[in-house]
Amino acid sequence: MKLGVIGCGKMGTALVEGAIRAGVVRAEEVTGCDPVAAAREVFLQATGGTVVADAAGVAAVSEVILLCTKPQDVAAALGEMGRAVGAEERLVISIAAGVTLASLEAAAPGHFRVVRAMPNTPALVGKGAAGFCLGSRAGSADGEIARGLLGAVGLAVEVPEKLMDAVTGLSGSGPAYGYLMIEALADGGVRMGLPRAEALKLAAQTMLGAAAMVLETGMHPAALKDMVTSPGGTTIAGLAEMERLGVRAALIEAVSAATRRAQELGGK
């Protein structure tokens, strides 16, 4: 597969690095472009791919194109690619926040197939969570290509486009909720006498381990929680305090608020 990347920033570079590590694509099959020289250099060093001058150059040599530009630059990039390849087909996977399939298909030539995706920042360390949806001209094979590229840096889930704002509110914004929880747990450890550095490491590793237990065992979080919660023990005391302070409700409302804001930004 010949893979193009338009916008060689951190996310675009991370997606390509993951795809190369996973064997989805070879370094010599990757071509990118970016207006920022420093981003091009980092991309070259990280991936071993090739860089060209512009989106037209990427489209000319690529079968699948990761569109990793700013939302306001999407239409121009799609138009430039269309003029460069004429009647040739291309699969374009856009990670531009808030840009709908309708907008992508309106800006793209009629023979381009498009996929809209929302990865999150843990993709930078190979632990991402992404949602994606297929445009009207994209087929199941295109979905598998998108799943392979996004899944190379974590988890990729196909959803209807109407749920993409919920993906944004949950996994797109969710790392920030996790960081807040880790910071708060570490603060609790420090309050109880642990050194700051050790408290932070323990908090982060604990959250990492809990997440791995959910994903690797397939058990419901409530069942895993019950495994830790002994009658009259320390854990139930802590959980009772979290319920009293509304931690569960706060997290639910955070996802809801972020989803509503994503809808507002998308003009819904």
Q: pLDDT tens for residues 139-182? A: 999 999 999 999 999 999 999 999 999 999 999 999 999 999 99
Every domain range in the chain assigned CATH 1.10.3730.10: 172-265
The one-letter code for the residue type at 2 is K
User: Does residue 172 contact residue 180 with C-beta atoms inside 8 Å?
Assistant: no
pTM of the predicted structure, to 2 decimals: 0.92
CATH classification code of 3-164 = 3.40.50.720
What pLDDT does 268 receive?
A: 67
In which band, very low, low, confident or very high, does the pLDDT at 92 lie, cut at 50, 70 and 90? very high
Model confidence pLDDT, tens digit, residues 39-79: 999 999 999 999 998 999 999 999 999 999 999 999 999 99
Correct CATH for 172-265 of 4.10.1240.10, 1.20.58.100, 1.10.3730.10, 3.40.50.300: 1.10.3730.10
Buried b (16+ CB within 10 A) or exposed e, 113-127: bbbbbbbbebbbeee
Beta bridge partners of 155: 129
Q: What are the start and end residues of each CATH 3.40.50.720 domain in the chain?
A: 3-164
**For helices 37-47 and 10-21, angle between their N-to-C axes, nearest 10 degrees:** 10
Query: Which of 36, 114, 33, 47 lies closest to 75 in space, CA to CA?
Result: 114
Phi, psi of 266 (to 5 degrees): -85, 5
Structural tokens at position 139: 């087929």
